[in-house]
Amino acid sequence: MTRSRAIAVVLLVAVAGALIARAVHKRHGAMFRNREFAALVLSGTDPYSEPIHAPYPPSYGIVMAPALVLPLPVARGAWVVLQLAALGVLLAVMQRWWRELTARDPPWWIVAGTLVLASRYLLRDMAGGGGNLVFGTLVLLACCRPGERPGEDRKPWTGLGLGIVLAAKPTPVLFLVWLLARGRRRTLLVSLVTAVILHLSPMLTLGPSGWWQAYTHWLHGVWLYGTRTDVFAVPAYDFPPFDWMHQSLRFCFARFLGTVPQSELAMLPEFARFRGLGIAPATIALINTIVSLALLVTTFWLVLRVRNADNAWHELAAPAALFVLTLLLSPITWKAHHVQAIPAFYVLLAQIALGVRVTRLRGGLIAYLILCSLPGQDIVGKAGKELMQSLYVVALAALWLLAEVLVSISAPPALRCDTRSTR
């Protein structure tokens, strides 16, 4: 083993140890709630009888049931190990994409830069058992297949992972369109069958009537939450109330265009207590719908326009765009969810390495680092963190990320990207 590799191994072990120690000593967090929700489903109890995971379907309890096998502290540590393994797989897929693209190894700073840009979200997701990194990796494994040309479907088993994610949270539905457009119908079928089986599985513990009651309760709650016009109003069915941590598009519009309650402004510095433009919630909802549809149509017009292109660039760039689009359009997007922007960071850094739009992308990523990646509570304090969140810099930066990735799809780097050239 070389000296540099030995140093890297020591650093990796040290980081893993620190993350595991932090997770094990956490009192509550996502892993605690996941186990509670899974225990309710497995015991045949209505999972929504307690305010634990209102936005998640009953099948989420089945997906997270393995976490009940181990004691809570051990489960937290094991989940961190799984998260680190998922991060390694995610990076390996993107590294292979680069090699298919250029027939050479990527510069070390692409991976380093990606990790630095995503560091704040990684730390949040790994604090208490978050599933965003693991779920995002499973989705990317199914949808980014370096070395496979359009129409090839040599790894349909990767659809199992996407199906599991669809059973845990249905937000990755946009990726099904990409699989269909890319001609990977077997993977699509495996994903759908897996998701359907898992969504039906709570019937084994809840019974047919209990299953129907739980699912209609959840679907009704999702509908009410997704269609409500005033995001500051108290939501039904114990869905999460307004919080500055929500960094999706509709919360961003409500913050600047609507009227923020004084109670939400109290935690901000005096100079930042701007209540908004006072536009009616129904009008804001209409604006959000129009902008969301415009983003959806534009993204899929560009993605589907190149669906048959024998070009390795689109293999990662298109899923990267769909990840960011999902973050923007999802009714609930916590800050930690933006860990799924990792492929987008990698795509933009890859462009810099290829000499494409270097000055613009470098400046944009430095701004992203300063505004989004660095300002955590441990650096800027609680007031500073709340200020940055109230300005929705993460949501606005996601819009920029989406735009830059879509530009790369419409005009990929001018080099030979034919996947056959590296075989």
- Is residue 175 within 8 Å of residue 142, measured between CB atoms? yes
Residue 13: per-residue pLDDT: 77
Residue 420: per-residue pLDDT: 38
In the DSSP assignment, the letter for residue 104 is: S
pTM for this entry: 0.93
Residue 14: per-residue pLDDT: 82
**Residue 243 CB neighbours (<10 A):** 13
Task: Residue 390: name the closest of 296, 221, 254, 212 by CA.
Answer: 254
Residue 303: per-residue pLDDT: 85
- Rounded distance between C-alpha atoms, residue 77 and residue 22, angstroms: 9
- Is residue 419 within 8 Å of residue 149, measured between CB atoms? yes
Residue 71: Cβ-neighbour burial (10 angstroms; 0-12, 13-18, 19+): exposed
Cα dihedral: 308, 302, 413, 139 (round 10): -70
Residue 417: per-residue pLDDT: 43
Q: At what angle do helices 313-329 and 132-143 cross, to 10 degrees?
A: 140
Amino acid at 167: A
User: Residue-wise pLDDT tens for the chain (423 aa)?
Assistant: 566 566 667 777 787 888 888 887 777 788 999 999 999 999 999 999 999 999 999 999 999 999 999 999 999 999 999 999 999 999 999 999 999 999 899 999 999 999 999 999 998 898 878 899 999 999 999 999 998 988 899 999 999 999 999 999 999 999 999 999 899 999 999 999 999 999 999 999 999 999 999 999 999 999 999 999 999 999 999 999 999 889 999 999 999 999 999 988 888 887 788 899 999 999 999 999 999 999 999 999 988 876 555 678 999 999 999 999 999 999 889 888 999 999 999 999 999 999 999 999 999 999 999 999 987 766 777 778 888 899 999 999 999 999 999 999 988 886 544 433 333
Residue 211: per-residue pLDDT: 97
Task: Residue 172: name the closest of 118, 124, 225, 135 by CA.
Answer: 135
Residue 378: per-residue pLDDT: 66
Residue 423: per-residue pLDDT: 34
Residue 269: per-residue pLDDT: 82
- Rounded distance between C-alpha atoms, residue 217 and residue 259, angstroms: 30
